Amino acid sequence: MTSPAELEACAPAGTFVETVTSVTHYTDRLFHFHMTRPSGFRFRSGEFVMIGLMVGDKPVFRAYSIASPSWAEDLEFFSIKVPDGPLTSHLQQIKPGDAVLMRKKPTGTLVNDALVKGRRLYMFSTGTGIAPFASVIRDPETYEKFDELILTHSCREVAELKYGQDLVASVKEDEMLNELFDTSRLRLYNSVTRDPFPFQGRITDLIESGKLFTDLDVPPLDPACDRAMICGSAEMLKDTKSLLEQAGLTEGANNRPAEFVIERAFAG
């Protein structure tokens, strides 16, 4: 891997060169890393940015949701490992001290600004789609805007749930965060599709059957008070969006806040 000094010399214009500070491998398909945050780099919780490496003499970039909240000192990302993925086949080898490229402009729709105020915020995620919500659930603004936060994370295997479970546990235990907002208003709902687990099935099936709401002991989706952010594969977005629309919720955007927003979980 390249050191930050070596990368500075060949980095494309308009990119930051940052240093990896920690790497955690969760499964053979998922890992998570922290890196330094450039001074002056601003983003809204839930946004994504382009992350890259030099592969040979060419920069290779992919979009990554920033998993840290907008106030954090460092930047945190959650990645899949695609064996022959143009970026992740290399990125999965990074170690503390290595250099990573980051383009300067963050963007995205999974932000508080794109939703109108409501009572309950659902964050529906599958796989690495949980990453933007790791940011949103640590932002005081989310707790100001919504009374109750429900993060759903559905994965193929039980081992893939660990990142989200550790994250929510750390939010609930964090003294500083608890001084800022009441983290008991945050709930995590897990389901698994390819391993035995007490909560089984795709999130779409659990919404459609109503089991999700029964398990959580909340009323069915209601456009008057429920808001949602969705992040997963293209198919998951399409199917979940259609269920929310059937329930009467309207899709919003940064320039047109409404009742739910979607963003594809990135891969490659």
Binding site for ligand A2P (CB under 6 A): 126-127, 154-156, 193-194, 202-204, 232-233, 235-236, 239
**CA gap 167, 139 in Å, rounded:** 14
- Tell the burial category of 229 from Cβ atoms under 10 Å away from its Cβ (0-12, 13-18, 19+): buried
Q: Which CB atom, from 2 or from 27, has the smaller least distance to ligand A2P?
A: 27
Compute the radius of gyration of the chain from its Cα atoms: 18
Write the DSSP symbol of residue 111: S
Residue 163: in which H helix or E strand, if any? helix 162-173
Q: How far is the CB of 239 from ligand A2P (least distance, A)?
A: 4
Gap between the Cα atoms of 105 and 112, Å rounded:
18
* CB closer to ligand A2P out of 119 and 194: 194
Q: Please, what sign has the CA dihedral across residues 188, 176, 23, 112? A: positive
- What does 111-122 look like in DSSP terms, one character per residue? SGGGB---SEEE
Nearer to ligand A2P, 158 or 225 (CB): 158
Minimum Å gap between C-beta 195 and ligand A2P is 10
CA-to-CA distance for 134 and 165, rounded, in angstroms? 11
Shortest distance in whole angstroms from residue 179 CB to ligand A2P: 35
For ligand A2P, the closer of residues 103 and 202 by Cβ is 202
In the complex, the smallest distance separating the C-beta of residue 95 from ligand A2P, rounded to whole angstroms, is 25
Nearer to ligand A2P, 108 or 127 (CB): 127
Q: How far is the CB of 205 from ligand A2P (least distance, A)?
A: 8
